Amino acid sequence: MTYEEKVTWVSAVVTLIVAGRYAWIVGGRLGELPVEAIAYQRPLLFAIGAMIVLTIVGTIAMSIATAIRGEISGDGSADDLDRKDERDADIEARGDRVAFYVSSAFMVGVLALAMLEQPYFWIANGVFAAFVVGSLVSSSVKLVAYRRGF
C-alpha cells in the first residue's frame, strides 16, 4: 500500500466518523425541535475543525507507524516511504475530478434551497453534505483505483 493510499484511508475514516457523529447529534434533534430552533452552528464548526485536526493527527500517526514498520521489516527507509509518484498524482486527479462533479451537483441542490428561501439549517447542512459526500466519493474513487488498477 502506497503512502498516498494510506493518507486516503485516513481522510476517509476521519470524514466518516466525524460526519457520522455530527449527523447523529444534529439529526437526533430534528424530531424534537423545529429546524429554526436547532443550534447546529457550533457542532458544525466543531465538526469541520475536528476533520482538519484529526486528518493531520491521523496522517502524522500513520507516517510514524509506517516509518517504524518500514525500518523494522526492511521494506524501505523512512526517507522513501512517503514517496509520491506520477501514478499517485493521476489517481488523485481522477478522484478529485469525480468529487468535483458530485459536489457541484449537491451545490445546485443547495442553490435551489436558497432560492426557495428554505431555513438556513438546510442550506448550511446542504453545503456541509456537499463537502462530505464529495470527500467520500473522492476517497472511494482513489481507493478503488489503487486496489483494482489504474
Partner 1 sequence: MAKPTRVTNEIRALRFSAGEMTQAELADRVGLTRQTIIAIEQGRYSPSLEVAFKIARVFGVPLERVFGYPEEAP
Contact residues toward partner 1 (CB under 8 A) are 1-3, 5, 75-76, 80, 83-88, 146, 148-150
For partner 1, the closer of residues 69 and 84 by Cβ is 84
For partner 1, the closer of residues 37 and 73 by Cβ is 73
Please, what is the minimum distance in Å from the beta carbon of residue 7 to partner 1? Answer: 13
Please, what is the minimum distance in Å from the beta carbon of residue 3 to partner 1? Answer: 8
DSSP for the chain, written as a single string: --HHHHHHHHHHHHHHHHHHHHHHHHHTTTTTS-GGG---HHHHHHHHHHHHHHHHHHHHHHHHHHHHHHHHHTS--TTTTT---HHHHHHHHHHHHHHHHHHHHHHHHHHHHHHTT--HHHHHHHHHHHHHHHHHHHHHHHHHHHHH--
Residue 141 CA to its chain's centroid (Å): 12
For partner 1, the closer of residues 53 and 147 by Cβ is 147
Please, what is the minimum distance in Å from the beta carbon of residue 14 to partner 1? Answer: 23
For partner 1, the closer of residues 120 and 150 by Cβ is 150
Please, what is the minimum distance in Å from the beta carbon of residue 15 to partner 1? Answer: 23
